[in-house]
Amino acid sequence: MKQIANAKFPDKETAGPLVAVIIPVYNEVANIGRVLQEIKELPPDPAYRLEVIVVDGGSQDGTSQEAERLGVLVVRQRGQGYGAACFTGFEESTRANILVFLDGDYSDPPASIPLLLNKVLVEGADLVLGSRRLGRLQKGALPSQAIWGNQLVSWLISGLYGQTFSDLPSFKAIRREVLTSFKMQEMTYGWTVEMMVKAVRTNCKIVEVPVDYRRRGGGRSKVSGTVKGTVKAAYHLIKTALSYIRWSPAS
């Protein structure tokens, strides 16, 4: 797969910190162009610079070619699973001070990126979670089994770790040094839960912000689109929540 070295998107240079927007994808040719276009249309902000990294999990529908055509860095995912895709993006974004993760299926609105970054840059948050439950959920964007599954795991985390979360979102921002200190292990759907509970265990400043959530632009969800996929994801989420109760940075 072709890799475009040092690709910037948008190509506005400022003196602010570099923010890597990491987008895991698998067969999202119908959606990735719309997502990247919305990022390109974000108003420039002198407080930070953006670069976009699309992590392709082996798409066969032209997703990577479409992303490359739009001028972003496309890298091949190393390993299997959602967490592996996110970790690949983390490893590739060596120059970035802040990492933003969002899905490439058009559900997460890039227009909320400045809101998440403001919480990091202005309010000093270490981890910012884009909560779908606090924002506007478009009808049909999440099936009922996914809503109840996320709520169940959120309650479990609250009971185990003493901090309440409204959602387990794909859309989030985190300081690079914080994520590095977590020494992430979960390469499946447990990636987000691991990040959240380790942030609690290390007394990070965690902020939830409301973000809207849209119906995917096309195609079918690989997770919530089927009951089997939802159950499999729920298993990994619960397993991860239980795995780090006694975790510490020295572990």
pLDDT at 148: 86
pLDDT at 146: 84
Angle, CA of 26, 142 and 68, to the nearest 5°: 25
**pLDDT tens by residue, 90-136:** 999 999 999 999 999 999 999 999 999 999 999 999 999 999 999 99
pTM recorded for the entire structure: 0.90
Per DSSP, helices labelled H in 122-216 are 144-161, 176-182, 191-201
The 3-class secondary structure across 7-73, one letter per residue, is CCCCCCCCCCCEEEEEEEECCCCCCHHHHHHHHHCCCCCCCCEEEEEEEECCCCCCHHHHHHHCCCE
Q: In what order do the strands lie in the sheet containing 127-131? A: 73-76, 49-56, 18-25, 98-101, 172-175, 127-131, 206-210
Lowest mean pLDDT among 82-86, 197-201, 230-234: 230-234
Encoding tokens for residue 19? Answer: 């923010």
User: Is the per-residue pLDDT at 4 higher than 60?
Assistant: no
**pLDDT tens by residue, 120-179:** 999 999 999 999 999 999 998 888 888 888 899 999 999 999 999 999 999 999 999 999
**pLDDT tens by residue, 54-100:** 999 999 999 999 999 999 999 999 999 999 999 999 999 999 999 99
Q: Which residue has the tokens 């309650």?
A: 155
pLDDT at 6: 37
Q: Which domains does the chain have, with CATH numbers?
A: 18-243 (3.90.550.10)
Rg value, the chain, Cα: 17
Across residues 197-224, what is the average pLDDT?
86
